[in-house]
Structure 1
Amino acid sequence: MSRAVVLVTGADLAAEALALLGDYEVVFAGKTPTEDDIVALCQRHDPSAIIVRYSKVGAAAMDAAPSLKVISKHGSGTDTIDKVAAKARGIEVVAAVGANAAAVAEQAVALLLACAKSVVTLDHRMRTGHWDKATHKSVELEGRTVGVIGLGAIGLRFAKVADAMGMRVLGFDPFAKDLPTHIEAVDLDTIWRSADAISLHCPLTPDNARLLDASTLSACKRGVIVVNTARGGLIDEAALLDAVRSGQVAGAGLDSFAVEPMTAPHPFHDEPRIVLSPHIGGVTADAYVKMGVAAARNALAVLAKGATGSRAPAAAAATGAPS
């Protein structure tokens, strides 16, 4: 009798996670699978679970896998999964919340410091023979105000480091409760008005897409630093570039982009005050294991409790889904 299948939308999974999935056949989609690739693999293997690393998982993939019971994110952000379609079909969506929190928070701190201290620009200047000690002044973060938007595991870690550096921490998250005393809960208008730096740590939703646009950026303090290690869709990239060029934004540290992977040439490439990294905030050796293990355990937990359950028929489920 053939084993049930777990489809991984990537080329690999941590050995520790694979060990947990020993009772299943694990199928890998490859390094850069497309949505069509995922649908084809679902048609071929009818997985009971999908562990999502790359690409999107939409209704077509779900309908191609009648046995599918759970979609488990290898990380915390589930915006690449059609959650409405999954709910309509009785498929659970779970995430490895907090598994990469330390890694992403550290990347956000690194990008903040890189912008405040002109790390990339000064490195380039020195390599081309310049010594700017007499002319360059960096930004001192102690005593400055940082606005943290999104106070989940990552945002809270970032805020703790910012507080340790002597920064005043303003936080916005309508769902956060029992915040530590070093975070002052405020509304977004207060963050735009008061923050010397803004760090994004919220999920991307239809309500907050392009949260930072020409209007909100113009409401910010002149010379604000923007950091984004969350999702690229939170920022209107053209508006951010204009704001950097005008000096309204002093610098931006970005690990997430509207279109990934970023293709060259890109308008950001010619702007030295924008520091770029290829969405690797959560990509560390430790986080790779933590996310893989959490994704596998989450999938197995759903499969175990649903062993005797039934999935909603796709046709019936579709009638209740919004158009």
Structure 2
Amino acid sequence: MSTILVTGADLAPQALALLKDFEVVYAGKTPTEEDLVSLNKQHDPVAIIVRYGKVGAAVMDAAPSLKVISKHGSGTDTIDKVAAKARGIEVVAAAGANAAAVAEQSLALLLACAKSVVPLNARLHAGHWDKATHKSLELGGRTVGLVGLGAIGQRFAKMADAMGMRVLGFDPYAKNLPTYIQPADLDTIWRESDVVSLHCPLTDDNRNLINADTLAKCKRGVIVVNTARGGLIDEAALLAAVQSGQVASAGLDSFAVEPMTAGHPFQGQDRIILSPHIGGVTTDAYVNMGVGAANNLLTVLAQRAAATAA
């Protein structure tokens, strides 16, 4: 029986049912490269489902039978795709499987920022009644600029449109956009947006896309939301912009280094709303991502088997 390695501690029962003809081995919640290399040498899997940790050349080389690496989700930045291609290993992702969950998290963070949900909650719990002194931001009629218009970005755009927001979007790969998304270049997004929300994968080209220069181009008092990848933001620059008031508030679900540890400069900043990269972590998304990852790897294995038989 062939083996599939899961770089995590579990997989949805619905996904396991699809993989019933394979032995499934789990690497645990926080697998290191050494863990994955050791498990691959021991089990020589034909496929890896990537949940946590990074899969690089050393991990791939430890599994001579490896044919496909399937992401439990949509972001493949933790997989060395160049190394995989050089070894004839296909990389696939469960695109869209967590779109609803992440888009909803983006909206939650945006509303928390615009309506000062977290600081007002803390103030009221401490006995303060700030009705006479506090004014929240109304989002209807404001402009939101989206960077990335895949399944998540487009779903969030639909929510923003429903609230009466003007939606600008940048994505050089997106086609057949709905009429409520106005295509725009990045300079236009920086210049015209009241809210900037990130929904793109992390690449070498867009690392630190949000930095001191781009933030300086934005409207004073802009809101920044990131449920994509932490590496898209220069965190020191964002912190400085929040402290200066150039950025009114930020809602962040991903960070340059994860997990975030004690002493991070964002901690204790009441205008930076934090969540621990859980945008895609819902019961429904867990099932959708597991099933998507399983189906994707089964498709690749079937194609490889057919090509070998031909």
Give the TM bin, normalised by the shorter chain: over 0.9
Q: What is the letter of the counterpart of residue 23 of structure 1?
A: D
User: Which of residues 161, 164, 176 in structure 2 aligns to 1:163?
Assistant: 161
Deviation at 1:108, TM superposition (A): 0.1
What is the alpha-carbon distance in structure 1 between the residues aligned to residue 283 and residue 76 of structure 2? 22
Deviation at 1:31, TM superposition (A): 1.1
User: Which of residues 24, 38, 41 in structure 2 aligns to 1:26?
Assistant: 24
User: Which of residues 275, 278, 281 in structure 2 aligns to 1:280?
Assistant: 278
Give the alignment of 1:239-258 within 5 angstroms.
239-258=237-256
Q: What is the letter of the counterpart of residue 234 of structure 2?
A: D
What is the alpha-carbon distance in structure 2 between the residues aligned to residue 303 and residue 177 of structure 1? 30
Q: Equivalent residue for 1:6? A: 4
User: Which of residues 62, 74, 87 in structure 1 aligns to 2:85?
Assistant: 87
Give the alignment of 1:1-323 within 5 angstroms.
3-307=1-305
Write the deviation string for residues 87-110 of structure 1: whole angstroms up to 9, x where unpaired: 010000000000000000000000
Deviation at 1:308, TM superposition (A): 5.4
Q: Secondary structure at the match of 1:256?
A: coil
Q: What is the letter of the counterpart of residue 83 of structure 1?
A: K
What is the alpha-carbon distance in structure 1 between the residues aligned to residue 217 and residue 68 of structure 2? 42
Structure 1 window deviating more from structure 2 (262-271 vs 156-165): it is 262-271
Deviation at 1:151, TM superposition (A): 0.2
What is the alpha-carbon distance in structure 2 between the residues aligned to residue 141 and residue 14 of structure 1? 37
What is the alpha-carbon distance in structure 1 between the residues aligned to residue 53 and residue 195 of structure 2? 31
Write the deviation string for residues 228-263 of structure 1: whole angstroms up to 9, x where unpaired: 000000000000000000000000000000000001
What is the alpha-carbon distance in structure 2 between the residues aligned to residue 14 and residue 225 of structure 1? 36
Q: Secondary structure at the match of 2:84?
A: helix
Q: What is the letter of the counterpart of residue 99 of structure 1?
A: A
What is the alpha-carbon distance in structure 2 between the residues aligned to residue 74 and residue 197 of structure 1? 29
Structure 1 window deviating more from structure 2 (300-309 vs 29-38): it is 300-309
Q: Secondary structure at the match of 2:206?
A: coil
Identity %: 77
Write the deviation string for residues 253-289 of structure 1: whole angstroms up to 9, x where unpaired: 0000000000111110021100000000000000000
Q: Secondary structure at the match of 2:53?
A: coil
Q: Secondary structure at the match of 1:267?
A: coil
Deviation at 1:190, TM superposition (A): 0.2
What is the alpha-carbon distance in structure 2 between the residues aligned to residue 34 and residue 137 of structure 1? 47
Change over 3 Å in CA distance of 1:46–1:309 after alignment to 2: farther
Q: What is the letter of the counterpart of residue 209 of structure 1?
A: R
What is the alpha-carbon distance in structure 2 between the residues aligned to residue 85 and residue 177 of structure 1? 29
What is the alpha-carbon distance in structure 1 between the residues aligned to residue 131 and residue 2 of structure 2? 63
What is the alpha-carbon distance in structure 1 between the residues aligned to residue 307 and residue 179 of structure 2? 44
Q: Equivalent residue for 1:316? A: none
What is the alpha-carbon distance in structure 1 between the residues aligned to residue 36 and residue 112 of structure 2? 38
Deviation at 1:43, TM superposition (A): 1.0
Unaligned runs of 5+ in 2: none
Unaligned runs of 5+ in 1: 311-323
What is the alpha-carbon distance in structure 1 between the residues aligned to residue 307 and residue 3 of structure 2? 18
Q: Secondary structure at the match of 1:215?
A: helix
What is the alpha-carbon distance in structure 2 between the residues aligned to residue 175 and residue 308 of structure 1? 31
Deviation at 1:214, TM superposition (A): 0.5
> Structure 1 segments of 4 or more deviating over 2 A?
none
RMSD: 0.7
Change over 3 Å in CA distance of 1:308–1:181 after alignment to 2: closer
What is the alpha-carbon distance in structure 1 between the residues aligned to residue 239 and residue 161 of structure 2? 29
Number of positions where the alignment pairs a residue of Structure 1 with one of Structure 2: 308
